[in-house]
Amino acid sequence: MPEVVFEAVHHAFGDRRVLGGIDLRITERRVGIIGANGSGKSTLARMINGLLIPSAGRVTVDGLDTARKGGQVRRKVGFVFTDPDTQIVMPTVAEDLAFSLRRGGLGKPEIAARVAETLDRFQLAGHADHPCHLLSGGQKQLLAIGAVLIRRPELIIADEPTTLLDLRNARVVAAALDAVDQQVIVVTHQLALLDGFDRVIVIDDGTVAFDGSPDDAVPTYRALVG
C-alpha cells in the first residue's frame, strides 16, 4: 500500500486557518476521515493528490512531495468528488471512461478492453452509449469511480461519495468502493461506510482530535458534534 505522510501541515484560505499542525502517516488499506462541516477534513483529503498545497509543512505519497511532484502523485492517487457531475465530461458513458485514458499512451485495443471491463464491473455495460446526464445519481457516481479506477491508481480518495445519494444508491456505491483492491481513503458523514475500516481519523477545528479504530473514533466524533 502507498504511504501517505503529513509533516507539520498547516493551511489557510486568506486569514482563515483551516488546518493547524497535522502530522500523520497513513499506510492502511481502508481509512476513514470524519469531522463536522468546516473541520478541514476535505482540505486534508485534497492535499493527498496535490489538489491543494499546504501553506506550510509537507505532504508526500511514497516519498513524492505533492507540491513538487504533483503529476507523479496524481498517477498514483485518484480522486472521487462528492458530485459526480463535476467529473463527467463526455457525452456518453463509454466516451467518458475512455477520456480518462487519453494521456495514458495506450493503443485503441487496450483502451477498448479497459472500458469494457469497467462498464461490466460497475454494472454500466447496458448504458455504454447512453447520455451521461440520463443516468441516475448512483449510476453517475459509479461512472465517476470507474473513470478513476480505469487509470489503475494505487490509492483512491473519495470525498463524501454518498452524500448526494438516496439510501439504495449509497449502498451500491459503498459496496463498489469496498470491493476495490486499491488502498481507499474515504471522507464521509455516513458513519455506516466505516464498518470494517482499519482506521478512522477524526478532524476537529483543523487538528487531529482522534486517530484509531472505528469503534473508538465514532463515539469521539459524536461527542464533538453532539
Model pLDDT for residues 160-193, shown as the tens digit of each residue: 999 999 988 899 999 999 999 999 999 999 998 9
**Angle formed by the axes of helices 137-149 and 108-121, nearest 10°:** 140
pLDDT of residue 3: 98
Average pLDDT, the chain: 95
Q: Using CA atoms, how far apart are residues 27 and 2, in angstroms rounded to an integer?
A: 6
Q: Using CA atoms, how far apart are residues 68 and 46, in angstroms rounded to an integer?
A: 15
Confidence label for 226 from pLDDT (cuts 50, 70 and 90): confident
Closest CA to 39 of 214, 210, 215, 158: 210
**Rounded to 5°, angle at Cα 221 from 215 and 19:** 125
Model pLDDT for residues 23-68, shown as the tens digit of each residue: 999 999 999 999 999 999 999 999 999 999 999 999 999 999 999 9
Q: Using CA atoms, how far apart are residues 105 and 101, in angstroms rounded to an integer?
A: 8
Element (H, E) at 116: helix 108-121
Q: In what order do the strands lie in the sheet with 4-13?
A: 16-26, 4-13, 56-61, 64-65
Model pLDDT for residues 84-98, shown as the tens digit of each residue: 999 999 999 999 999
How crowded is the C-beta side of 23, counted as CA atoms within 13 Å? 2
Stretch 145-172: mean pLDDT: 94
Closest CA to 183 of 98, 61, 97: 61
Residue type (1 letter), 32:
G
> Residue 107: phi, psi to the nearest 5?
-80, 165
Question: What residue ranges define each of the domains in the chain, with the CATH number in brackets?
Answer: 4-225 (3.40.50.300)
